[in-house]
Structure formats: structure tokens, C-alpha cells
Chain A
Amino acid sequence: MKAFGTVHKYGDNVDTDVIIPARYLNSSDPKELAAKCMVDIDKDFVDRVKPGDIMVANKNFGCGSSREHAPIAIKASGISCVIAETFARIFYRNAINIGLPIIECPEAAREIEAGDQVEIDFDSGMIYDRTKGTRYQGQAFPEFMQKIIKAEGLVNYINNQ
């Protein structure tokens, strides 16, 4: 499985309140959530984002509340993968559980810039920045989690058991 797209870049501590503000949590419809994704820190994100695009951020991405609406909004906006130095732990779980691929790779997260064309190979964890011609080895998912991702989320994983 591979992803390829343009990078949207953010800094440290992108919290779930800016990924999807609480005032929109009276909906759980992925499309409605995607329409408000990142609105508080990046108003034009929803207009710019194209299917397959990649989100890159620095440390502690997704900190704050446990709202699964956050990874749902990102996934529904068309983002194919999030790369960060580190992820907040609930966001990490949620992303895996709903089948949004995420990769921890501090080097890539720091060096890749907004607008770069980036390719990711999920099987090997390899990240390739086509714009810069640089390669990074991202953290591969533990086997346990790969199974959940392959089943496209925890629900199917449980159903398959």
C-alpha cells in the first residue's frame, strides 16, 4: 500500500480542538466534520486539500481530547497519511482504530516542508520526499496494529476474529 500527495505542514502540539473545534462536535458525520477540519489554524485547508494529500507536523500531534472526530475529520478530508515527530497517545489509538495511517518519523517531520510532493510505502515505512530527493525510514507499525489496519479498523478486526 502506498500514498502519494502534496504536504500540508503544521508545528508542535496541534491539538484536537483545532483539528475539529468542539462547536462542530454536535455532528459525527465524516463529511460535515471534514468541512471544518483545521479551520481554526488553517482556514483554507479544506479548500486546498486534495485526495491523497499528506499532513506533516512536529511533536505531540493530536494532543487534547479523545474525540475520534479528529482523525475522522482528517481522513474524510482526503488526507492519506499523517507524519509527525510524535503523536499524542489517544490520537494514535484512534487513528489506527479508524484506519487512518500515521507514521512517527522525527527527521522527516522536521525536514519535509509545505508543498513538497511525498511518497510513502506503508509496508516498509519508507518516506520519500520527491521534491527534495530525500528518503526517511519511518517507524513501521507493530504487528498487532498492522492486523487492525489491514482489517481497516478495529471493528472489522473484531468481526474477523
Chain B
Amino acid sequence: MGMTMTQKILAAHAGLEQVSAGQLIEADLDLVLGNDVTAPVAIHEMEKMKIKKVFDKDKIALVPDHFTPNKDIKSAEHCKCVREFAMDQDITNYFEIGEMGIEHALLPEKGLVVAGDVVIGADSHTCTYGALGAFSTGVGSTDMAAGMATGKAWFKVPSALKFVLTGKPASWVSGKDVILHIIGMIGVDGALYKSMEFVGDGISNLTMDDRFAMANMAIEAGAKNGIFPVDELAVQYMKEHSTKEYKVYEADGDAKYDEVYEIDLSSLKLTVAFPHLPENTRTIDKVGDIKIDQVVIGSCTNGRIDDLRIAAKVLEGRRVAKGVRVIVFPATQNIYLQAMEEGLLATFIKAGAVVSTPTCGPCLGGHMGILAAGERAVATTNRNFVGRMGHVESEVYLASPAVAAASAVTGRISGPEELGL
């Protein structure tokens, strides 16, 4: 029987000719990731194991990004734990403040993940690297510990949903709108335990940053992973960023899918997810009059250079509405630098926004932009659960950088069209 793209990658890493959905396998890992929240728990678990050395010091990535620069003493202790472990184990890919970034933007940028890899990360948005044609999925800290110790992880081979994308998105419509549309359509558990495989000619009309944003939010539909075919653009990205050898896998022609969805990208509108679930989506023409207090532009979903360029295009020569706080956080140091060189940061600051060092910050209600009771934020992040960005009575609306930036100017949820753009 034919295999999906995901199944082929898993089979190859389990040393098997053939796998099928539901089968339990043990696969070799190309990379194991952890951050300042999850790695300390994993390090502690690994200490309980008889294996004292990591399986391969080049195949571990440790990125303190959630509460960094250290938010408080407890966070500092966690980061210290990660740092000491990294030094002690001589971990090659430990990224300290100054060279770090939000993990899921950083790893592809550093060339640590390429097509055909199997990656686990103790962070749910590890699924981001599917944009490069890798199998990557989020796990917990104990899995991370076992992965660091043995270089292996157990998986249940997933079945898959196929999304056939055609057409070209209208202006301002981005990968974020596509994935929000899909989550709105299938629900937050619509892809539970499954792979989301994206195929079709429409993909050539999506930038790599669009694809990263889409694969990033596969978990928001409950998926195990999201994955894209490896086309010229993906190959070009890998050549620019990595020296690692990549391997292209393609789904078999007779691969079985639980469901096939056809999506004409040209028919999609700007989309916003209302509180408190990413599936509560509405197109921009149906949002009504929603006044906002804060705008957050950044995160592992939309903190990349394309995202900042789009936001700057909207904010150029305009002012943030009185009473609205706008926080921009470029996802990595490189993106920060690039945005500075391109003059994007000046545009943000002149418009009345603040620009933060790369951090997860307000995305998970950590620091740098917490909401008070009754406050509303438009965020380019990926989750709008109760209390996600602060008080349990605050609200988060998920949107693209274009919508976030336009909303910053009008003070209510708006698309760039409202500004005559």
C-alpha cells in the first residue's frame, strides 16, 4: 500500500520498508530541541537515567527563548540549568542571548533542519519545520530526555489529511490567513493524531515564511505534523541556510488519506480567530467593531522578515492609534538586524510602536506585554486560549501581520484596505 510523505520519512528513520497508520515504531532522530521551560525538566529526567552523555552533541538544540532575557529569579535559575548542561555536555547548538531567537524561527535559519529529517522538540510548535519537508513534532520533556539520551523516539504512525491548494492568494492574504481558514474549517481537533499534508500548484504562490506560519499552526488543528513538498523555493532556502544534506520524500501516488480538502487560495479573505479558540474564525468583512488595547507582531508564527516587511508597509508614514500599545518582536537576532538594515525598525518606532529583543514574551503571557482584565489584543501569534496573554478576562484575536498593523492604526480590528492600501 502507498505511503504518505510523513509515513515515508518515518519508515526510513525506523529502518523499515513499509509502515502503515497506527503502527508503533521507534525512529532515529536527526535533532532534539528544548527551551528554557521544557529543557530543565528534561535535564532533570535525564539525570535519573543510567545514560549520562547525550547521544550526539551536534544533534541537540537548546534555545532559551520563553522567559528570556531572564524575566525573574526563577527563570534565571532555569536558564542557568540549561546553560550548565549545555556547557557540561558540550552541546554545539546552544544559543545564548545575543545569538538566540525564538526556537522555531532560529533552527531553520541556522540550517539545523532540512528536508527528510525527523525532529522532536519539547515545544508544541516544533511542527514548524514541516515547511521544509521534514517530519517534526512536539513532545514533552520526558520524550526530550529519552531523545537526548538515546537518539530515538517512539511514534504511532499517523494517518493523514490532504490539502490540495490551488490559485494565488489576493493581495495582503498570507499563509496565516490560509491556516486560520483551515483551522476554522476542520476545528481545533480536526486533525487530531494526524498529519496535514499540503500539496498542489498553489504552494508555489506561498513564500517560505508563509509556509512556516502554516506548518507552525498545524498543532492548532490537533495535528501531529504539517508538511510541505520540497520545491525549488524550499531547496533554495536550504542551500542558503544549511550545509546539511537534505533528502526529498514524496507521497506515493496511491497513498491513502482520511480526507482530501481542495482549497482555492484566490477565494480566501483576511481571517481573524476570535477568543478563545483558533477555530473561531471570521473573515475580515464579518469582524464587526472590535476596539483593541494592544497589538503584538512577532512569535514563531509571524515574526519573520516577510512578516515585518508587511507590517512596516502598513505602518509606513502612519501613527498608532492613541491608547493602543504596539509591540513588535523580531523572531531572531538575524531578522532583527535585517529589519534594522532595511529601515523597518525605524518605521515601527516612528509609527509609535516598541521593538523588543527576540523573545516569546507576551505570546504565552510570559512577560513584555501582559494584558489586564477586559483588555483586547490583536496578535500575530498562534493561540488565543483563556488567559494566554495575561488576565483570564483578557482577549486575544489571532491575525496576520497585515491585519495586526492595520488594527494598530485604527484602534479596532481592521484590514489594510481600510487604510486605502
Contacts and interface: CB of A to CB of B under 8 A. Distances in A.
Contacts of A97: 140, 142-143, 146
26 contacts: A17-B383, A17-B388, A22-B366, A25-B66, A26-B75, A27-B74, A28-B44, A28-B78, A40-B386, A59-B189, A60-B192, A64-B124, A65-B383, A66-B123, A67-B37, A68-B122, A88-B222, A89-B193, A90-B219, A94-B143, A97-B140, A97-B143, A98-B142, A154-B145, A158-B149, A159-B48
A66 B51 contact: no
A71 B142 CA distance: 12
B40 A28 contact: yes
A-B pairs, 4 with minimum CB distance: A94-B140, A26-B74, A97-B142, A68-B140
Contacts of B123: 65-66
B387 A88 contact: no
Interface residues of A, number: 38
A40 B387 CA distance: 7
Contact of B49 (A25, A64, A86, A155): A155
B142 A153 contact: yes
B67 interface: yes
Nearest to A143: B24
Contacts of A48: none
A89 B222 contact: yes
B302 to A, nearest CB: 18
B49 A158 contact: yes
B154 A69 contact: no
Given A22-B364, A65-B123, A17 B385 contact: yes
A158 B51 contact: yes
A86 B192 CA distance: 9
Given A93-B139, A155-B142, 13 more contacts: A13-B189, A15-B383, A17-B365, A18-B385, A23-B366, A40-B386, A60-B192, A65-B124, A65-B383, A68-B140, A94-B140, A97-B142, A159-B50
Contact of A64 (B149, B154, B383): B383
Contact of B224 (A71, A89, A144, A153): A89
A93 B143 contact: yes
Interface of B: 24, 37-38, 40-41, 44-45, 48-51, 66-67, 71-72, 74-75, 78, 121-124, 126, 138-143, 145-146, 149-150, 154, 188-189, 192-193, 219, 222, 224, 277, 364-366, 383, 385-388, 392
A158 B224 contact: no
B387 A158 contact: no
A63 interface: yes
A159 B121 CA distance: 22
A40 B49 CA distance: 35
A158 B37 contact: no
Interface string A142-161: 10100000000111001100
Given A22-B365, A142-B24, A68 B392 contact: no
Contacts of A89: 192-193, 222, 224
A156 to B, nearest CB: 8
A64 B385 contact: yes
A78 interface: no
B277 A13 contact: yes
Contacts of B44: 28
